[in-house]
Structure 1
Amino acid sequence: MIDSAAPEPAPGTPNYRLARTIVLVGLMGAGKTSVGKRVAARLAVPFTDSDSEIEAAAGMTIPEIFANFGEPDFRDGERRVIARLLTEVPRVLATGGGAFIEPRTREAIAEGGVSVWIRAEVEVLWARVRGKPGRPLLEAPDPRGRLEELDRLRSPVYAQADITVDSTREASHEVMAQRIIDAVLEHDRLHPERPPTLEIVTP
């Protein structure tokens, strides 16, 4: 769901035009939503959380979708929602932890946006998600062990993202937002053969 209409840029932010959607990927607890909102504010573009869009389309929560239909049906709906969002106005898009694992979703993201893996150590992720509801994949006898397993299985796929930005315990949301913007600009610089994601707008 779009968090808001395109806001005014944060004070001191250079005037950039977002030409392609920035898609944030990574495990639960990486900060895709909280950091993504700040990136969107700095760039004066809409922020969208794909999980919120899926819930709105289905009329039920993510845990309810998992319980009623299972993960395969959820992933198919997730793929369709993300593909639609990528055809709309460029924005910052936070995706669920399993979205980038699906090959067709990964292909759609590669075609319609630039992917950013917010990478964090398991101990950092666990500190952020432990005891919090709404995490169907952690509903297991050993939730921390399950998180470690997800990290082991998914990290090689997340590593295929265009950009990797490390999230550390001491980094604030604002610091992480700037790291992502800087990394996107650097990616544009290193890949002049590709259409830029961020264009500098001169007065």
Structure 2
Amino acid sequence: MRNLILVGPMGAGKSTIGRLLAKELRLPFKDSDKEIEHRTGADIPWIFDREGEHGFRDREQAVICELCEEDGVVLATGGGAVMRAENRQALHAGGRVIYLHASVDQQLGRTARDRNRPLLRTPNPGNVLRELLEIRDPLYREIADVIIETDERPPRMVVQEILERLQELPPR
């Protein structure tokens, strides 16, 4: 078995759903952002402040390439992981990619109190989320084996749909 890789915007539920999916399948769960924090000993906002987004993306690329080489893990990625072609290639080659799609309203509701989102430290986070989704949505779709809508759905229901949809996929 290869990996199950969750992509999508911030607030789509990648970490929550990833943990539940891993538990259901009895697989290890990895979160690329948490892995970066663990390896650097610093949180994501600190890395953004010190190294800028480019520095963070360099770290993210190294971690994603490494994690995609593993076998039999559920991997949740950061929302911007798809911005680099190298990451998209690694994610697609690393296993089945599941795009968790969420509306901007849903993202706003889920990220409103989260201070660990450097790109949302702005007077109008809704505009930022709309702009990010416009740029990133085609990239998520480009590498996705399965697209799942997460708006207004309990995480366990999303996990069940993922499991059903994965069974329908032809082997690759």
TM range (shorter): over 0.9
Residues in 1 aligned to 2:168 and 2:106: alpha-carbon distance in whole angstroms: 26
Partner residue of 2:154? 172
Residues in 2 aligned to 1:89 and 1:77: alpha-carbon distance in whole angstroms: 21
Stretches (4+) displaced over 3 A = none
Percent identity over the alignment is 40
Q: How many pairs align?
A: 171
**Post-superposition offset of 1:89:** 3.2
Q: Amino acid of the residue matched to residue 34 of structure 2?
A: S
CA distances 1:110-132 after superposition (whole Å, capped 9, x unpaired): 11211110001111111111132
* Aligned partner (choices 57, 66, 71) of residue 89 of structure 1: 71
Q: Amino acid of the residue matched to residue 162 of structure 1?
A: D
* Aligned partner (choices 146, 153, 163) of residue 146 of structure 2: 163
Q: TM-score, normalised by structure 2?
A: 0.95
Checking the alignment, whether the CA contact within 8 Å between 1:49 and 1:95 is kept in structure 2 is: yes
**Post-superposition offset of 1:165:** 0.8
**Post-superposition offset of 1:98:** 0.3
- Give the RMSD, CA atoms, in angstroms: 1.1
Greater share of helix: 2
1:54 aligns with 2:36: yes
Within 5 Å, which residues of 2 pair with 1:43-82?
43-82=25-64
Give the greater-gyration-radius structure (CA): 1
Ranges in structure 2 where 5+ consecutive residues have no aligned partner: none
Helix, strand or coil at the partner of 2:12: coil
Ranges in structure 1 where 5+ consecutive residues have no aligned partner: 1-18, 195-203
Checking the alignment, whether the CA contact within 8 Å between 2:108 and 2:125 is kept in structure 1 is: no
